[in-house]
Chains A and B, each alone.
Chain A
């Protein structure tokens, strides 16, 4: 039995221990584990972030270092001194031994210049200048590489040779990796940049870099703890890498120690694969590390920044240790507690069992221990109840009585407390009434001060009460006005009445208070603003009982708000406003200020406006400004300021001092606007004055300026220059057919093309329309060479301008005509030279366009002669220098029919001038009218004389009429007047018209011809066959005669074409019933032919030359 008890005791105790451990320790261990995991992740994350930042910083440091060195090389290679050094030293190098005294003398001047890059800033280890052929012609350090050739010398496989070849080929700068460099016996890298002038490679500049800076970056282990280091390595084959910088753990590692990437160094392997990342891994020592890895494309290096995991996770290991210890302690403690409670349970059970055992043996006085409250105690009591049942009942009854007494006492005490409380309330009520009266007075006072009145409306009785302040607000006399809704509505502004009414009604319907702002209109018409609140009370059925409201006078507040709003709106104008206090600290700026200056208001508040200063104005400027500001209280003027982004801009500024009542300045207000646009406009206007707006080329004014300058330059240098005058053929047609848009496009294109053909120093100007001028300065000293060069350029321009133009979707073909005039010195004026070029251009045009012509003095002469003749011709009529000659016209029997009157000019100096020379000049001007008139007049006078004699009465005199004359509207009248004046027989006057006369306005001409016919005058068509007259046209004209042109007559006997032509004309004349006369008849053969074919009238040398009247009349007499 007792063995059983022992077993129960043991099993209960141990079960307790087990449960304790399960329930308390298992979750604890679990949470401990989880939190450890969490902090491990957080720690790793933090370290990784730190390593990421450091790795980025270090890569950037190396990149920047290399980039800057490359930039140094690029800049230096562009410099003038390197160019000089290159040319100077290559001469010295090729003539003298490198290192010889002569060479050193040549190199000396450059030494100090290059030394700066080596000593001064310790940027580089050495500088090289290399010829395109690979010769190192300059080295600062004079190591064994100096004077060798990089293409075939001993160092042709070095990195220096590699960057040289790279730059030489690609014309780009180049940078190499670090490697052992034999001439310096140390690791080195090289940077090179090509030296290029005018697109040709003059040489290569190279710098040698040492490892110092890179090692510094690698060595810097700030933020890396005790075990942290930076490893730099590069691949040597697919499985191995080599360190390129010393390690903290191994200072000799650089270029010596290798890493096997197959088995270890995972971070470095990742880096050299090109990855960028961070994480855990095993490093080259086989240790677990936290690392960040990077790839450097410039050097093809891998970089690993790492810390040992042991160091990183040391705090975590500490934490783990503490946790384990705590868990162990808890296990021990929990076991002990469980054991103790187990024992407490088991011990009484054991004693119960032994007592029961004794009772069972007969000892009835024994009582088991029944003091315990648990199941064991209950068992004991049940056991003892068998003997103590009565006593137990009695004890229960007593317990009840006692409980009732306690309850009664409690009730008594509660009653007492209630009585005392009631007395308190009554006393408080009494105090309250006194207080209420006081409050009423206070309220009244408060209402007056706060401009706040109140009212109350009893909706059951209809009674309305207003507080005193209401009367004051409404400005109503309490004696004359009693409170009423009507009086209230009356005082409300009529426009707001509905609103207020509505709000109140709505409020009663919704059973919600309302709160509105509205206006009052007082008896004297003044407006007040009030704010009104109102709330109503309702009974259970929802019927309104009472409304209570308050009215507050907010007029002042309203007015203030209004003023503020206006002020704020004014402040945000498009002009910048800056307000400072009296000490010139900025206290407020507007939006426009921020927009113009680029500073936000936070950036400038509290600052001195000096931050805007551009430095363009000197101290005196500001001193004067302040002086005026202090004296007059304001300043206005223009000032240059600087924007936040550094750009300087002009502004128009007004500063005004704001003074308080005491006259003391409290603020300064500066208002300004950005006047950049205005300044630009001024510049634009300047440009417009000198440049053509369409093509941006210089205009005539600027051209003349430059031309004058060019002439004086040429006078000093004795060099020839040239001016090209050109215009585009058919430009007007383009403008007229496609419109000005296309014309403008074409001109822009022409301008571009011309510019592309000439040097930058040459001036291309547009004179207007399609006229361009090119000024070529300082072409050559020799006339021959200069004109050849100019001819080449002009031809180039011509060819460029003759290429078809693509104008939007239209292809336009055009070509230029170019006139060229050469000049040297300022012998001839600008105007003359331009005129020459212009003249040459017309020459080019006449020669069939798309051509270049040089100005030719002979041409000039011809033009001058032409001009002189014209001037003389003007004096010919008044000076009576004209003569009329007469050429006889005969019939087939050689009988005189009449004559053709021909004008001759007896020039006072030149003698006889033929009509071929001066008629065309006369036709260009209006002189032909005067001459024509003179001829007519003279001829008619002669006819009048002839009319008086029988022998000559029937002679017909033919007079030529020019197109200009005929087109005059009063031509017919003039003829009639002349006929009348001389009283001649009109049938004796024959007018010879050319085809050009009749080719104009048909209706007008036919009308005029009919009018002339009506006068009785004869009409003849001169030069028939040379123009384009058509038969149908001829039919309309009331002609009497056709004249066969002498050009047909000349070859009539020999040329069958002409013969056929003349035959046709004669046949045609017969068909139209016209008579025919042939001019220029000089031989009998011609006469025969004409006679045979039916032409019966003739004029020509065969019968007589044109002669003066005396000779003509003698000729008549001889016949």
Chain B
């Protein structure tokens, strides 16, 4: 009886030893080999005049990277962000891009805000046949095999917005913008479509970037009382502009302002009563009511604080990383040529809705939203495009060559 018990014990020991050995061999095969990290480069200004705008984008990128790493990394490798401070200087930013590519060996670059910065970095990225994700809405008239534009092309923001304004507010319009390439080009396109629809241009004014004296413009608007104002001011000027409008007694109900570059993060820095009732068009608003977005806002606030807000450029940064991660995961390689091939076919359920990379232009198919600012700094959606809008960086009614030639003749555009 005792013998048989001992035999059984031996048997059990033998089986368990065999199982443990087998399991450890399997575990070694599965996880034993430590894999190197994959690096991606981030090019945003953390100091200088652009820092206020660009720093939140780095947080959005960080959230996307951390989420990728928590869900197992990319092909078993962790993703590491190498952040370069562009110091609000386009030329310096281009140098940093070169450094990230050559010295750090990053697999993709995410960054830039201003068109100047993008154009400087574009040259570097194209020289290395590398890959850049650019998250801002911009003036269009550009296309590159090495850039994915995750922000809006003109026909995905400005043009639908001004057409909506024309239909709902009236035909007499007034243009105000900062004096550089984006507003000049945006106004040109706005005038093209508005004048073709019978619109009437009352005035067109440009002020230098960072200008703070808006009293004259506000007086002119008050005198002309246009049906609506298209505002392409960038940076701090917006605060001064809305304050001047307020002081000139201009009322959002009678003279609504449609802005291209005022989003939630910017509103958070202004007094809310200045902008309430005015409009903005974006492809993303924090207030969008869908499950994907609610989860996204929740995750972001949990990571960075309850009082933080999200806006379009941040979301565009976030989906840039998502697109890249999905691509590399589906490929099992970081080799840039196949990555770019597959990137051109990516689609993604994003917080803003479904986005898809347009394989012709490297821009995204995006839905367009027009929002009316609320006193709490968020937007109520007043209009939404019926479907995702095809990105057209070069609007159809002029040929590419004509566009580039016309753009060259715009004052304020660097030649």
Contacts and interface: CB of A to CB of B under 8 A. Distances in A.
Given A22-B15, A275-B349, A295-B347, A171 B22 contact: no
Contacts of A22: 11, 15
A27 B7 CA distance: 20
Contact of A297 (B15, B18, B356): B356
Contact of B349 (A63, A173, A274, A294): A274
A614 interface: no
Contacts of A56: 345
Contacts of B107: none
Contacts of B395: 171-172
Interface stretch (B73-81, B230-238, B385-393): B385-393
Given A56-B345, A297-B388, A300-B387, A199 B356 contact: no
B196 A200 contact: yes
Interface residues of B, number: 39
B11 A276 contact: no
Given A275-B347, A275-B349, A27 B396 contact: no
Interface in A145-204: 162, 169-175, 177, 193-194, 196, 199-201
B59 to A, nearest CB: 24
B147 to A, nearest CB: 19
A918 to B, nearest CB: 53
A172 B163 contact: no
Interface in B107-131: none
B18 A171 contact: no
A297 B365 contact: yes
A199 B350 CA distance: 37
Contacts of B358: 297
B347 A196 contact: no
Contacts of A59: 345
B396 A173 contact: yes
B11 A169 contact: no
Contacts of B390: 172, 174-175, 297-298
Interface string A830-854: 0000000000000000000000000
A275 B355 CA distance: 9
Interface string B372-415: 00000000000000111010100111000000000001000000
B193 A170 contact: yes
A199 B388 contact: no
Interface string A12-46: 00010000001000110010000000000000000
B186 interface: no
A273 interface: yes
Given A169-B193, A171-B192, A300-B388, A67 B360 contact: yes
Contacts of A169: 163, 193, 197
Interface residues of A, number: 39
Contacts of B354: 273-274, 295, 297
A274 B355 CA distance: 7
Contact of A60 (B160, B345, B397): B345
Contacts of A273: 349, 354
Contact of B193 (A67, A171, A175, A177): A171
Given A22-B15, A194-B397, A273-B354, A172 B392 contact: yes
Interface string B331-368: 00000000000000111111001111011100001000
Nearest to A752: B409
Interface in B162-200: 163, 192-193, 195-197
B396 A193 contact: yes
Nearest to B327: A276
A60 B353 CA distance: 22
B137 interface: no
A26 B15 contact: yes
Nearest to A172: B396
A196 B193 CA distance: 11
B155 interface: yes
B245 interface: no
A294 B347 contact: yes
B326 interface: yes
A74 B396 contact: yes
B196 A171 contact: yes
A175 B365 CA distance: 13
B159 interface: yes
Interface in B27-41: none
B196 A199 contact: yes
**Max chain B C-beta neighbours (<10 A), residue from A170, A273, A756:** A170
A30 B22 contact: yes
Interface in B221-269: none
A275 B330 CA distance: 12
Contacts of A297: 347, 354, 356, 358, 365, 388, 390
Contacts of A172: 155, 159, 390, 392, 395-397
B397 A276 contact: no
B349 A756 contact: no
Contacts of B350: 274
A174 to B, nearest CB: 8
Interface in A942-976: none
Contacts of B15: 22, 26
B19 to A, nearest CB: 9
Interface string A194-221: 1010011100000000000000000000
A14 to B, nearest CB: 12
B138 to A, nearest CB: 17
Interface in B50-88: none
Nearest to B359: A63
A295 B163 contact: no
A120 B18 CA distance: 74
B412 to A, nearest CB: 11
A275 B348 contact: yes
A26 B18 CA distance: 11
Contact of A170 (B18, B155, B195, B348): B155
Contacts of B18: 27
Contact of A274 (B348, B360, B396): B348
Contacts of A171: 192-193, 196, 395-397
B61 to A, nearest CB: 21
Contacts of A295: 347, 354, 356
Contacts of B7: 15
B86 to A, nearest CB: 25
A169 B199 CA distance: 12
Contacts of B355: 274
A276 B356 CA distance: 10
Nearest to A755: B409
Contact of B397 (A162, A196, A300): A196
Contacts of A199: 192, 195-196, 397
Nearest to A27: B18
A27 B397 CA distance: 73
Contacts of B326: 276
A189 B396 CA distance: 20
B160 A170 contact: yes
A297 B22 CA distance: 49
A276 B345 contact: yes
A312 B319 CA distance: 35
Contacts of A277: 330
Interface string A512-551: 0000000000000000000000000000000000000000
A274 B347 contact: yes
A863 to B, nearest CB: 40
A756 B11 CA distance: 98
A199 B194 CA distance: 11
Given A169-B197, A297-B356, 10 more contacts: A26-B15, A59-B345, A170-B155, A200-B196, A274-B348, A294-B347, A295-B354, A297-B358, A298-B390, A300-B387
19 contacts: A26-B15, A27-B18, A59-B345, A60-B359, A63-B359, A162-B386, A169-B197, A171-B395, A172-B159, A172-B390, A172-B397, A174-B390, A199-B195, A274-B347, A274-B350, A274-B355, A276-B347, A295-B347, A756-B409
Which 8 residue pairs are nearest across A and B when measured between Cβ atoms? Answer: A274-B354, A297-B356, A297-B365, A295-B347, A274-B349, A196-B397, A171-B397, A273-B349
